Amino acid sequence: MQSLAKAFRLDDEGWMRHANPWSVWTRVAILPLFVAAVWSRVWIGGWAMVPVAALIVWAWANPRAFPPPAAMESWASRGVLGERIWLNQTLVPIPRHHARIAALLAVLSGLGLFPLAWGLYTLSPSVTACGFVVTLGAKMWFIDRMVWLYEDMRAAPPDRPAGHATGQQGPPFR
């Protein structure tokens, strides 16, 4: 996952820009638009590659396309900050209950891509819908879990493990 963050050039500034709710929600919109673009091959043939290519470029550019948000209190912003903490867990340990479910949700989201791809290849509405719901549902649940992780880590004092918060601010990014 760290290599994926590097591929998207998510350094400190990149993460803050990606924490903009516009970045999060326009990124969420990529999957349904991608499904529509691939399915459009039925109507526009090879021209369907134009919106597919545009969405791939947008997926790469999106995390840096918006300015950092004025505040980090939105659900989307806290989800991005939690994801950054999750990806940094080799340096700053996170509570096991977060690590396990986050990994499970990431795998589930990835597994949903198989029926999604097969459904798009075969133009099966039910298989496509199943893969879409699993992929996007698991991703949204993952983001929600990252909000929880962010809140736990933000509240943990530096001398106690996260998840045992006392209300003090602890550094989530070391």
Pick the closest to residue 102 from 64, 150, 167 (CA basis): 150
pLDDT digits (tens, 9 = 90+) for 109-126: 999 999 999 999 999 999
Handedness of CA 6, 118, 58, 80 (dihedral sign): negative
Is residue 154 over pLDDT 90? no
What are the structure tokens assigned to 58, written together?
């947008």
pLDDT the model gives residue 5: 52
**Mean pLDDT, rounded, of the chain:** 87
Is residue 81 over pLDDT 50? yes
Distances (CA, A) of 40 to 33, 47, 131: 10, 9, 18
pLDDT the model gives residue 157: 57
Whole-number Å distance between alpha carbons of 103 and 86: 10
Pick the closest to residue 61 from 85, 26, 33 (CA basis): 26
Place of tokens 């819908």: 129
Pick the closest to residue 148 from 89, 48, 91, 81 (CA basis): 81
pLDDT the model gives residue 167: 41
pLDDT the model gives residue 156: 66
